[in-house]
Amino acid sequence: MKTENALFLQKPDVLDRQRALLKELFARYLPGTTCRFAGKPEEIPSGEAFDLVITPQLDWLPEALARIPRPEHIHLTSAGRDRLDAMGLDLNGITITTSTGVNATAIAEYVIGGILSHTKQFHRYRDLQMRQEWQRTWLTELTGARLGIVGLGNIGTRVVQRALPFDMVIRGCDAAGQDIPGVEKRYDVGELPDLAAWCDILVLCVPLTPNTRGLINTDILARMRPGSLIINVSRGQVVDESALINALRDGIPAGAVLDVFDEEPLPSNHPFWSMPQVILTPHVAGTTQRYMENMFAMINQNGLQREPYRKKRRLS
């Protein structure tokens, strides 16, 4: 169905920066659509009907939706919808789509960057440079390294594609059971401990669901190999942070690259800040200059999997 009236919601400061680009993208990808922008609920005309609402998972989204008749379609600018699930909204009959895959390439590139930073110690040498210290050490080659990927969806598949040229051996854990070229073995979810025990690098790229919350716990971490690395580009709650802190202090895994956390921004007194074996970034793995253009192209091409609202999702 053609979209005639759309509502775009965003935080006010972000909306101010994006407004000109958004107008151009609406004209290019959804021509003929009348769009209204709102940075807070009171900017939405009460009672006005919209075919499509495009929005992040904003704290004030329930208040915004309460001001308008039920839209036919809500599109989330995020890849996941875990916060939407927790809002308690009546979404029956509304098409809910997400931006799953729109930034998969950017996140996969981040994963490769994290692997290289850890094995080539770029972050450590940067610190030494700032102190004008000359310390040579032996570095690690990736040829033959064992890469385990938890979640072989859009992101996991792209990680596989980018890891293959480094001659890594790749295995994955996924509930869907599809074969992915380059993945020599796939583990069921219940076999995750076996994957953790096998790999040198464990990458987490699953959505946050009741089944994945706390997925990486003390038992899984205890199975990891000496010298191993864990990378989390999924959601902070997929990992038991206390268990990870204790495991890192004990030396297994030897390092972590973390882009997501239980609490964001990360509190100033959090142990991760002062752990030299941790590379942390402020939830930026999925950022890309192409994000909005990719999202609008996806909507225009109906490349999203449209389905009735439901709370349960598979592992990846």
The CA distance from 64 to 42, in Å, is: 8
Tokens linked to 302:
């109906």
Amino acid at 235: R
Residue from 88, 32, 78 nearest 54 by CA:
78
- Do you know the residue count of the chain? 316
Contacts of 11 (CB under 8 A, 6+ apart): 39, 56, 58
Tokens linked to 18:
């994006």
Tokens linked to 177:
């059971």
Please state the φ and ψ torsions of residue 47, each to the nearest 5 degrees.
90, -10
246: helix, coil or strand? helix
Helices 104-120 and 122-130 pack at an angle, to 10 degrees, of: 60
Give catalytic residues, as residue numbers. Answer: 235, 264, 283
The CA distance from 265 to 18, in Å, is: 22
The CA distance from 156 to 79, in Å, is: 14
